[in-house]
Chains A and B, each alone.
Chain A
Amino acid sequence: MILLENLLSFLTAIGDFLTPTALFHVAWSTGLGIIIGALPGLTATMGVALMTTLTYKLAPDLAVLILICMYVGAIYGGSRTAILLNIPGTPANAATTLDGNPLARQGLAGKAMGIATSGSVLGSIIGMFFLATLAPLLGNYALKFQSYEFFWLAIFGIVISGHLTALDDPLKGWIAGFLGLTVAMVGQEGIHAYQRFTYGTTELLGGFALIPAMVGAFGFAEVLTVMRNPAAEVINAARDSVIPKLGEVFRYWRTIIRSGIIGTGVGIIPGVGEDIGAWVSYAAARRKSKERHLFGKGSIEGLMAAECGNNAAVPGALIPVLTLAIPGSAPAAVLLAAMFIHGVRPGPMIMIENPHFVYQVVAMVFFATLAMLVFGLSMTRPLLKVLSVPRERLMPIVFVLCVIGSYAIAERPFDVGVMIAFGIGGYILREMKYPMAPLVLGIILGDILDKSLRRGLVLSDGDLTPFFTRPICAVLFLITLSSVLMSIPAFRRLVGRVVGAVLPGRASREGN
């Protein structure tokens, strides 16, 4: 019954966008998203941030439609570069290079692109299904959240995002996340209207504007990275067909469903996103595969899992955006900021105040997926041409857009300075291997953390007990704590010894 209601709401939302204007916006924004994703150095986050500055005068539903199409298109577009150049077009396509490029080197670039397209489309559809079914449920459940839960959700988001986006060095992920939270402390605080760290600057009263900061951290920083690195090597031309054989695709239906579910699940975790969605899906597919030996050498299944996982993470990342106003990934963080600019207020109240918008977002993902399929199977040659544009001609245009885009939203030269500062800071942090996603998440969650902790303490009259005894709080606290403890080598060794003593058989098996 609920599913039927969901379906009807979804169909109504589809109808909202069946207009020539909306379809025109779907076509160009998804196409541009694919191009941005395919160009090395230009990422989905940068695309969504720059596009926010270009669409702020449009009606909210059309602006969000364009941004979602850009997001979906960019995550898919990066697979082209991964296959043809062995460079992930966006970080989300890193796992795609492992099998995509070996296939291209075997003269099967067309086949690889076809598989990547079908994997992305199917991943997106699975993610869309969960977005349509889980978002309303989670939205209703989120109504139970009070300040105590939101406090832990903010800390949990930073710690888990910091851990998963910097698996080799979680310390740097956490530093990035807590620096992001600190950045969010600048400006007038939301309870007593006290001006923190503004030093008499009126421009800082509202804190650092998120869009100029993101345009800097993901646009200007990427211009610097691209110009510093050596130019990309010559592209392998695709000579075989990009239209995949259905039998070849659906032979891996188990991998598709598994990767779709994993990608969506990873997308839901705050600030983790598409790249981790692809890696976890790839690792799971490899573990379960009968063709494990082919992974890394041109496995269709591996390529399918990676692309399915990253595109499923896009609708997954939108679930917490809509229901908790907490982004599941860096591009989703920018999207959330764009929604606020357009007066759409996502969060726990959305299923009461604006339930139709949730289904409109599902419909937007649906149209973006359709456009991705059409362009993915038809835009092979134009994309090859775009990939051959020298960076020396492309990067000044990107920077010109970074400057005017940061300025245009509020028409303040100060925001151009913010963009430059975040660009240089973001570049330095990235060079030192600090992940950007926790930093972005921190900037978004800072306000929630600040208000929730202080409100919670006022409600409990300074008593910390409810922060640990309420069921959801206890779960979030325990996960956060175990994530921190398990990253300490001495504690991990101790746990290993305890497990070894309690389960000697298992320990010896693992030892083998």
Chain B
Amino acid sequence: MKPDTITKADLITGLVLLVFSLTLIEEAWRMPRLEQLGVHPSSVPGLVPGMLGVILLILGAVLTVRSVRRGGHHLGITRENTARTFRQPGNLRLIVTLVLCIGYAAFMIGNMPYWLATGIFTFLFIALFEWNPGADRRTRVRGLTLAAVIAVLVAGVVTWVFANLFLVTLP
């Protein structure tokens, strides 16, 4: 991130921290004092979370004020800027990686055999990121074959090692 982007991000983080810390203090305050159990008032469960809430409130306030002083409140969020951010090659790669990884971990695993999910994920990851539309047909076929070979190897070895060597009941 560039310094001015970080300053803007600091404002948002600061505000999130303020809300988070106030919630933390409120939750800590509402925690039981356990008087009926004869518990010492200094050992109540909400003491440390409440203390951490106060510290985070101070830190969040300092971050917010500092960001505003540095001009972080000029967020400059426009449709054009947002579209440009999403078009940057690095951010596109990040989004594709996130979609593939979360899709694999949250949706594929558990809904199909582990080895199949792992094989499909590895193949898709390599094939998508190494796909070169400008290359000739032979190069593309070679790339896809290599991705398939790696996917079969990874799925086979990881499944075998965890199921047979570490005796894990695979998801």
Contact = CB atoms under 8 A, between A and B. Distances in A.
A and B part of one assembly: yes
Contacts of A424: 98
Given A194-B31, A230-B90, A404 B158 contact: yes
A149 interface: no
A224 interface: yes
Contact of A400 (B55, B56, B110, B154): B154
B13 A432 contact: yes
A125 B74 CA distance: 53
A384 interface: no
B126 A171 contact: no
Interface residues of A, number: 55
A206 B29 CA distance: 22
A432 B10 contact: yes
A458 B40 contact: yes
Interface in B2-55: 6, 9-10, 13, 17, 24, 27, 31-32, 34, 37, 39-45, 47-49, 51-53, 55
Contacts of A229: 90
Given A178-B55, A181-B52, A182-B52, A228 B93 contact: yes
Contact of A192 (B9, B39, B49, B52): B39
A357 to B, nearest CB: 25
A240 interface: no
A187 to B, nearest CB: 11
Contacts of B98: 224, 424
Interface stretch (B77-85, B133-141, B160-168): B160-168
Interface in B117-149: 118, 121-122, 125-126, 129-130
Interface string A173-200: 0110011011001000101101011000
A171 B62 contact: yes
A297 B60 CA distance: 41
A288 interface: no
Given A224-B94, A400-B154, A407 B52 contact: no
A411 B168 contact: yes
B63 A454 contact: no
B104 A399 contact: yes
A145 B83 CA distance: 57
Contacts of A175: 13, 17, 56, 59-60, 63
Nearest to A454: B43
B68 interface: no
Nearest to A158: B55
Contacts of B47: 453-454, 457
B126 A392 contact: yes
Given A171-B62, A399-B101, A182 B126 contact: no
A179 B130 CA distance: 38
Given A197-B27, A420-B102, A432-B1, A392 B129 contact: yes
A449 B52 CA distance: 11
B105 A457 contact: no
Nearest to A460: B42
Nearest to A181: B52
Interface in A192-235: 192, 194, 196-197, 220, 223-224, 227-230
Interface centre among A194, A196, A404, A420 (most CB of B within 10 A): A404
Interface of A: 54, 57, 171, 174-175, 178-179, 181-182, 185, 189, 191-192, 194, 196-197, 220, 223-224, 227-230, 390, 392-393, 395-397, 399-401, 403-404, 407-408, 411, 413, 416-417, 419-420, 424, 431-433, 449-450, 453-455, 457-458, 461-462
Chain A to chain B: the 5 pairs with minimum beta-carbon distance, closest first:
A457-B42, A396-B125, A392-B129, A194-B45, A228-B94
11 contacts: A171-B66, A175-B13, A181-B52, A182-B52, A192-B43, A223-B97, A228-B97, A392-B130, A404-B158, A453-B47, A454-B43
